[in-house]
Structure formats: structure tokens, C-alpha cells
Amino acid sequence: MLSPTHVLLEKRFDKMKSKLAEILIASFGTVIFLFLIIPFFLIWIPHKILLSPEHIYRFDIGIYRYFGLVPIVVGVVIYLCCSGSFIFAGKGTPIPFTPTKDLIVTGLYRFVRNPLYIAGVLVLTGEAILYQSLGIFIYCLVMFGVFNVHVIMEETLLAEKFGARYEQYCRSVPRWVPRLKPGSKKGSGPE
């Protein structure tokens, strides 16, 4: 027969194992997102645009092209920060078929509802400047349109899943333009 202390310790250990498994699964999904899905849209497609024989739309800004590195670096940092929020706060991934279990209230999600999409636009804008490519800039505009349509559909699903808490989050945190002051911690949501 097990002592009450032993039973309690066993329950705590089982709970810790469950949380660790949850974090490992979320980490794996997020790594797939970061190293397979994101590079396809932010590296492979722009690379193909640059190598395309039809890519004649270039502009010349000389040495100022290196200012394009700033939005690229900022976008990558945002991706990494948001990935941590998805894993630890949301207990899920940015991938739609393994969504977060909890609303995310921490990190950049306190300032803006869609920091991952903003990061994507920043990286593409930086690439357009760095490579002096109007083609990549047009692709960036198209992707922003795609992101906006996806966000509108996603918000409907999040409102159904999280109800009043998500609606409060939408009222206190803007969709696209970050606030300087963080939103309320009462409501939150992954982009």
C-alpha cells in the first residue's frame, strides 16, 4: 500500500510528464513551422523571383539597400519570440492543424494580435530593399493580402473557440498596428 505522500508525488510526476510531452509536441510543430513552412514563403519564393528570367523590375538605391537588413532581423526576432509564446503560453503551434490550447496573453501578443504575419511582411519588405527588387515587393503586397484574408477567417474560429475572452482581446489589442502600451491581460489570442 502506498502512503498518501507517495500517491501525491506520483500524481505530480504524472502531471509534469504530461506538461513536458505537451511542450515537446508544441516545440516539434513550431520547429517544422519555422524551418520548413516559413522558409518556403520567405526564402524559396523570393529566391525564385530573383532568379526568374522575367525579373526585370529592379530599382537601384546603392548602399542604402543594406537598410533592408533591419526589417529582416526584426522580423526574424519577432518569429523567434512568437514561437516561444506558442510553445509555452499557448501550448500549441502556429500550424492550423495543431493550434494552441490556450489564448496567448504574453509577449508581443499584448501589443498586436498578428505579430507573426507582421514579421513575414517585415522580412519580405527587407528582402525587397536588400535585393532592390520590385518583384519581391509586389509579392510582399500579395502576401499581406493573403495574410489579411487568413486573419479574418482565423478570427472567426478563435471567437468560436474562446468566446467572450477572445472578443475582449480583440477590443483591447489592435489587429495590425502595434500599440505602444500593452493590451489588457484579461483576453488574449494567438494571431
- List, in order of start, the domains of the chain with CATH numbers: 4-172 (1.20.120.1630)
The C-alpha cell at 158 is 478563435
- Show the low-confidence residues of the chain (pLDDT under 70): 1-2, 5-11, 13-14, 16-23, 25-27, 29-30, 33, 55-56, 92-98, 183-191
Give the C-alpha separation, 52 to 113, whole Å.
Answer: 35
Give the C-alpha separation, 84 to 63, whole Å.
Answer: 35
What is the secondary structure of 98-167 as a DSSP string?
A: S--SS---SGGGGT-S-HHHHHHHHHHHHHHHHTTBHHHHHHHHHHHHHHHHHHHHHHHHHHHHHTHHHH
Backbone angles phi, psi at 122, to 5 degrees: -60, -45
pLDDT for residue 29:
67
pLDDT per residue over 109-122, tens digit each?
899 999 999 999 99
pLDDT for residue 8:
63
- Cα dist. 86→24, 82, 189 in Å? 12, 6, 10
Beta bridge partners, 58, equal 133
Beta bridge partners, 133, equal 58
- Find all residues with CB under 8 Å of 147, minimum gap 6, and list them: 114, 117, 120, 121
Give the C-alpha separation, 118 to 4, whole Å.
Answer: 51
pLDDT for residue 7:
61
The C-alpha cell at 36 is 520548413
pLDDT for residue 39:
83
pLDDT for residue 58:
79
pLDDT for residue 187:
46
